Every structure is written in structure tokens, then in C-alpha cells.
Structure 1
């Protein structure tokens, strides 16, 4: 058995494995595996991520940021950080991720120039570790094209596509950060992106829902959750990052520390890729426009004569509702965009912000038609 390529040596050559995937080998054909515990090694080899071990090692060595998407139990968390000689930072996106966004994250990485140089050109036919459906992948390509990340040949655009590939976040969140550079609100967009990277900033206790709701009202913004997050972060900083302040306001102190840490990382990345760090100084309309520029594909309108808060997505007419945790729950603005969907007895939108529908055609004219933005009463 050929031994795996070790980081720091010459670039491995490509061969096809028996299942049609791509494997990386060195020129040597040594039969020694170099491991002393065969039983443990066999267990590791059974993990789905093991098949991509050398490819991952190569990408980690060659690039500052590598995003890896895999199902629970694939080994992505336990195996990858064991590589020696690397400073590995793992971003956990704990929100439920839809199929087409999962495909979008994978697609951004697959079409990175280095992978293209390695011969991976057929994106639809590529052997993904966690394969999305063809429909989801086509949907992802359409969204990425509309985001300005891909060109007509499904290659990364310059500079936007390559900038997005450098940001270790969902492409929609990354595009929001890029758009904020044009709107002069990158500081606010980066804060929002950091909050969206964790599950929740709120601390809930059984039997204390009323107190939590009252705490949210102290920070609630009429525009929606994203602006509310800015209010919370501002209060956290003004308190001196106080744990007592967090406890009093039903805010998770550890989550806010993580938000602050991620925010600092994103600020460094933003500066590296040419984004000017600038605050809008309270002009929340430009922040909402930046959010819309990233999340236009998640736009919804309130159904006419709806008495239960029923929304429909502009593309696909999927029935959705605002999640009870949102500050816009029961407010029901006519037009919104959302960050993620939670499926229970209904499809609920999480992290929702109100928008002007004209912004959709301004930011993504090729994705939306004007007539689609004028729903008729039922």
C-alpha cells in the first residue's frame, strides 16, 4: 500500500481510486503505513473523512482557510485537528443548514483555483463527502452566480469570488460582509456575522420565559433581529464585557465572549482582503441593505389577509412563519429576509429582518423579476 503524502514534501500526484474519487500519493510506493496501532488505525480508516485525508492535509497546508462540510459522525471534528504542524481553528456554525446552502459552501471550496488546478472541473459529478442532491447543487450554483461569486463558466469571480472563499462562513454571510464595504457599515455587518455564527446569544431558564421576553424588549429593534444583535453587542461592550450584565439581561456570557472572538478574527480577515473597517454611525437602513445583498435568496412576503402570520418565499412559494424567538414574532412586517429555517410542525424563519422589496431587484436583478415582487391578494 502506498504511503500517504506528508505535508511539507513535494506536491503529490493525482490518481483515480476504484470508486472514481481522487486520491493523492507520493512517488514512493513504500508499504509501511507508519502507524504502531493497527486496530486504532483501521477504525480511523472506516470514518468517511479518512478517504479525503491527504486532500485535506494538502489544502490546509496551502491555504489560510479551508472549509470542510461533513455529516455528524464523519470524523471531521475528531480526526482533522490531529494533524501535526498546523494551527487549526475550527468555526462551528450551529444553525441548521439547508441542503442548498451546504452545497453552496462545498461549491465555493471545490471551485477554488487550487482545486481547479488539481483537475476537479466537474462540480455536478464530483464525489462529495456529504453529497447534496443535483437539484440542490444547481440551486446553489444559481445563488452563487446571483451573489456575484461565480461567473458564467462556474469559476470564482475576481475579486468577489476569491474574497468570499477567504471568509470561513456561509457564502451569504460572506457576501453581506462584502456588500457592507460599499454601504459603509462593515463594522456592523461583521458583528452580525459573528452573532449568526453561534446558536443563540440568549440565556433561557425553564419557567423564566416572561423574564427572557422582557429582556429582549430592552434591546429589540423595530427593524428586526439583526439590528437587535447590534444593540446587544453594544451593551456588552459598554458593560466592559461583564458577566453580571449578561446574567441580568438573560444573555449568554460565554456566547458573547465567543461572538467577540469571532468578530476579531473576521475583522482581521476583512482587512486582509481589502475591506475597510467602517461604522455607519447608526444608519440602520444601510445595514439592512447589506443584509439584503447577502440574503436576497431568502426573501419572503406576508400573505394577504393572513391572520396567522403566514409568509411565502418569493422564489418557490414555500410556506414559512417567523420563529417565536424573533423580535418580529407577531409584528409580521410585509417583507423580510431570514438567515435560516427551523423545521418542526411548521417551517420557521430564524433571525429575521424587515426589508424594502425594491432592494431585491437592486441587489439581484438576475435572480428576481419585478413582477414576482408584487404578490396578488388571495
Structure 2
């Protein structure tokens, strides 16, 4: 067998290696009522000279660890879904509108996890507590309410999931920018913008399975806004790590190259000392600082067949590192770097180290 053919057949082996490396990072599932915040998202890669997406990277990013804790490569036809990453009891999964599907909500709850998912006005069908259809457009807040919430259900039958619908008003400048984008898109497509889309553009709408005791509506909004960290991690992976520069045109070779690249660019040695101590919140919540959970171990509950082997892990999470010399003031904390621990049941990125490459 030629070397080239061996490389073509190495995809499953490399996927198994990557799977075990990510298991090392995830460590133990949260215990003692603690919840672990994770951002779940996906990104695509194209073959050379291709005018479409050919491969999809499914990722899970933990701000408390400042790194990706799950990476799975599939063909682009595989939609963004929670079943493609590890989901464990105690996880709080933050997702964008691409994950607003009943199957994803049900998958999270069946695995003991919670979700915070942004939705559009027609993403999913909602029901009230009596089982009647819930019209989201009729409950948009008036000009005096910044954040409102309503109890709803998503799906029906065995996949019925209880949730809180949280609607937050956007700042006027953000609404104006969104309207301009909608008008430009309609102009390019030669179509008219739906008035309902224009109306809902002024609000950020989310579904969460977290109870009001676990997080208030305002806290849920703050937690969702931390999604910028996974977007930044993807950008670093593609621009600085060169992940998007796919050179192989053969599909099997391309998969091998992508997996080998993810393994080779693990930043445990090179980037461990570069993580910033950065709070993504504009201010500390009234009831105290969000706490970041960490730890390591060898237990994992996988919710999908995307992984190809059992996982095992051991070790301890890396200690916090100071920001690099010369870093921007925005990436440094002037306050006490070791604030007093608060007894809160969920983690956050306060004191998190969010900017590791992987």
C-alpha cells in the first residue's frame, strides 16, 4: 500500500486521537449542583476551487477553560446539531439560531444538560402551558420593558420540552444596523422584507431550560452575549492556525489533513501562558461574580455516534496565567485577581481565560 493510500485511510485513526485529546480537556462532569457553561457552534471549510462548503467543524468551547473541549469533523451535509459534540449532565449549552431545533432541545435535556438558545420569530413552534399555540409576536415588550419572559413549551409528545422564552430589547443603534442589513439583503435578492422580520429585529429572543432560581432573565441575556468568545476562537483557528487553508482536493485526504491539523495545532505548550484574565461582562451581576468551574477526570457521557471510541482522560486543568506583557488594557483586570468565591450554582467567564487558540 502506498504512502498516499495510507494517508487516505488515516482519518478514523486521527479522529480517535483527537477525540481522546478533547476528553483530556473536558475532565469530570460538574458535581455538587455546579453547572458548566459551554458555547456550541460550527464552522465550514471548502476544498480548493470549491464554491460551496465541503467540511463542517463542530465545536464546543468552555470559557472557564479558555479553549475548545470538543472538535468533530464531518461533511458539510451534516447540519449543526448537539448530537455531534459531547453533552453531559450539568452542562449549560449556549447556541445560536442554527441550533434552534426541537431535536437539539430534547437531546440536551435527555442528557441532563440545560440550554440557552437564540431563536427567530419563526424558528420553532411554541406552545403555552395549556398546549395552545403561542404567538411570539403578540408578547413583544413595549417601550418601557427592557427584558420580559414567558413560560412556554417546545415540541410535543415525548419530545416536549419546557422552557422560558426571554425577550430583550436591543439598543436603538443595533436595531438600525440590523434594519440596514435586512434592506440590503432584500435588495440583493430582489425581494421585499417581511414586516414581522423588521419588527422582531429590535429584540433578542432566547429559549432556556434554566429555572428562574438558577438564572434571572437578565443573567441569561448576559450569558448568551458571551458567545463572542467562540467566534473569536474560530477566527484565531482559521487565521492564525491556518485551518481554513485546505490544500487537498481528494475528500479522504482532506479529512486526514483537517484532523491532523487540529491535532498538530493544539496550543497546550505554546499558548498556555498567553491566556488573558478577561471578564466578558460589562459589570459584575448584582448578586455576585459568576464563577468558572474547571477540573479534570475520565468520565464522559457522549450523546452521539460522531465519536468513534470510548473516551478516557486524566490530569488537572492548567492554572490561570497572567496576560502577556504589552497586552491591551482591555485584556487585563485591575481588580483583585482572586475575588472572594460566591456560592452560585453555575459557572461563568469571570476570571475565565478565553483566548486560547483551541
Task: Please classify the TM superposition score into its range, dividing by the shorter chain length.
Answer: under 0.3
State the TM-score, normalized to the length of structure 2.
Answer: 0.26
Bigger radius of gyration, 1 or 2?
1
| Structure of greater relative contact order (alpha carbons < 8 Å, 6+ residues apart) | 2
Which structure: greater helix fraction?
1
Q: Which has the higher strand share?
A: 2
